[in-house]
Amino acid sequence: MDQSSYQLKRYDLSEDRSLKPWSAADELLVQSFSDSEMTSSSIGIYGDRFGYLTCHLNEKNPTVVSIHKSEELAISANLKANNLPTIEFHHPITTLPTQMDEVYVKVPKSLDLFHLYLEHLADNSTDEVQVLCGFMTRHFTPAIIKIAEQYFEEVTQSKAVKKARLVYLRKKKSGTKQNIRKTISYNNQDFHQYWGVFSANHIDYATQFFIEHMDLSSQPEIVLDLASGNGVIAAEVQNQLPNSELHLMDDSFLAVASGQLNVRGENVHHHYHNDLSVFEDNSLDIIVSNPPFHFEHEINIQIPLALFKGCHRSLKVGGSLQLVANKHLNYKVHLDPLFAQVKILAQDEKFVVYACVK
């Protein structure tokens, strides 16, 4: 197969055009698909960030399992741009309509998420399923093999090609079912979260610092927890302001599903989305956030910066965006030109909490 036959773009919020929409690991997976002599009837794909695998394997009508809204939007845009048929997306906590017999996995940075992928594919595949997992060699850790061996008898590695490698999984084991949620206790509440959701072993320290210093004294009526993860910040907003209209939004399906376990109520709304287009201009009183700046193995502040613009648009005049950040990110430089006033609510040697007033 000619791997240059499709035109692909990243379609994310980043304006950095030097970042590529696929890696040598994706190329290796597609090469193996082309070389494969298998006559599979049902192919699955996990973790295809911008659609490279989905486009190249489209003739097989693959079952695509995704956890990010941004990924689903990028894959759909790339399919459309290449005149390929649209697809339906599936999530790794729901049963698939068909049992897969050949699966292509892009190994994610979060090993908990890799674990969840294998748990899900083990449950949604035939006994004869063959799995190919692709990754860049510099991201290899023996834990990839250890996790794979929990589900498959045969786990073998390919040679490296262009600094990428594959792990082949064959002979599925039986009786491997595990509980795919973790529980973290914080401030007298148990927070439940699916494997692969941010900060799995304890509430993030920046988040804890933020919760101690966010300022809800203006009694806001409509509040958004942007990039809400398991919903821990929103839960504190709900404690302090039980009558507010509370929105939680995250790009991760697993985060939104976790937030739904932890923050409930008549006035609570959960959004699976990657930008603020779901909110009208001048509609929110306060946005609270521990915003993202890591995306898989990339550090990319273009995405929070694009989110901040959306925050400014969605806030009422006089409303505020309150956020926590690592000091070295120096967000003040980017927030100052956008907002009427940027105050520092608290800081220590590592973190800073800003209140940005529109």
Ligand X SMILES: C[S@@+](CC[C@H](N)C(=O)[O-])C[C@H]1O[C@@H](n2cnc3c(N)ncnc32)[C@H](O)[C@@H]1O
Q: Which amino acid is at 37?
A: E
Assigned token pair, 134:
């692709």
The structure tokens 């674990």 sit at 115
With contact defined as beta carbons under 8 Å apart, do 191 and 184 qualify? yes
With contact defined as beta carbons under 8 Å apart, do 249 and 227 qualify? yes
The residue within the footprint of ligand X, chosen from 71, 112, 250, 285 (CB under 6 A), is 250
Assigned token pair, 72:
């689903």
Told to check if 256 binds ligand X by CB under 6 A, we report no
Told to check if 303 binds ligand X by CB under 6 A, we report yes
To ligand X, the closest distance from the beta carbon of 97 in angstroms equals 26
To ligand X, the closest distance from the beta carbon of 306 in angstroms equals 8
Told to check if 227 binds ligand X by CB under 6 A, we report yes
Binding mask 64-83 for ligand X (x = CB under 6 A): ------x-------------
The residue within the footprint of ligand X, chosen from 180, 255, 311, 352 (CB under 6 A), is 255
Told to check if 204 binds ligand X by CB under 6 A, we report yes
Question: What residues between 7 and 26 interact with ligand X by CB under 6 A?
Answer: none
Told to check if 228 binds ligand X by CB under 6 A, we report yes
Closest CA to 326 of 350, 349, 342, 353: 350
Told to check if 288 binds ligand X by CB under 6 A, we report no
- Helices 232-240 and 253-262: crossing angle in degrees, nearest 10, is 30
Give the β-pairing of 125-136 and 152-157: unpaired
Told to check if 233 binds ligand X by CB under 6 A, we report yes
With contact defined as beta carbons under 8 Å apart, do 250 and 272 qualify? yes
Told to check if 193 binds ligand X by CB under 6 A, we report no
To ligand X, the closest distance from the beta carbon of 255 in angstroms equals 4
Of 16-24, 144-152, 176-184, 245-253, which part binds ligand X (CB under 6 A)?
A: 245-253
Q: Which amino acid is at 63?
A: T
C-beta of 166 vs 233, nearer to ligand X:
233
Told to check if 214 binds ligand X by CB under 6 A, we report no
With contact defined as beta carbons under 8 Å apart, do 313 and 276 qualify? yes
With contact defined as beta carbons under 8 Å apart, do 117 and 109 qualify? no
Assigned token pair, 192:
């439940």
C-beta of 148 vs 255, nearer to ligand X:
255
CA dist., res. 270 & res. 150, Å (int):
34
Of 23-31, 74-82, 228-236, 348-356, which part binds ligand X (CB under 6 A)?
A: 228-236
**Burial class of residue 274 in the structure, from the number of CB atoms within 10 Å of its CB (0-12 exposed, 13-18 middle, 19+ buried):** buried
C-beta of 155 vs 226, nearer to ligand X:
226
C-beta of 42 vs 289, nearer to ligand X:
289
Count, residues in the chain = 358
CA dist., res. 354 & res. 335, Å (int):
9
Question: What residues between 80 and 109 interact with ligand X by CB under 6 A?
Answer: none
Told to check if 251 binds ligand X by CB under 6 A, we report yes
To ligand X, the closest distance from the beta carbon of 88 in angstroms equals 22
Closest CA to 269 of 67, 307, 70, 278: 278
Tally of CB atoms within 10 A around 261: 16
To ligand X, the closest distance from the beta carbon of 12 in angstroms equals 8
Of 54-62, 83-91, 238-246, 248-256, which part binds ligand X (CB under 6 A)?
A: 248-256
C-beta of 148 vs 356, nearer to ligand X:
356
Of 39-47, 141-149, 221-229, 349-357, which part binds ligand X (CB under 6 A)?
A: 221-229
Of 150-158, 160-168, 176-184, 250-258, which part binds ligand X (CB under 6 A)?
A: 250-258
Q: Is 307 left (phi over 0), alpha (psi -120 to 50) or beta?
A: alpha
Q: Would you tell me which residues interact with ligand X (CB under 6 A)?
A: 70, 198-199, 204, 207, 227-230, 232-233, 249-252, 255, 274, 290, 292, 303
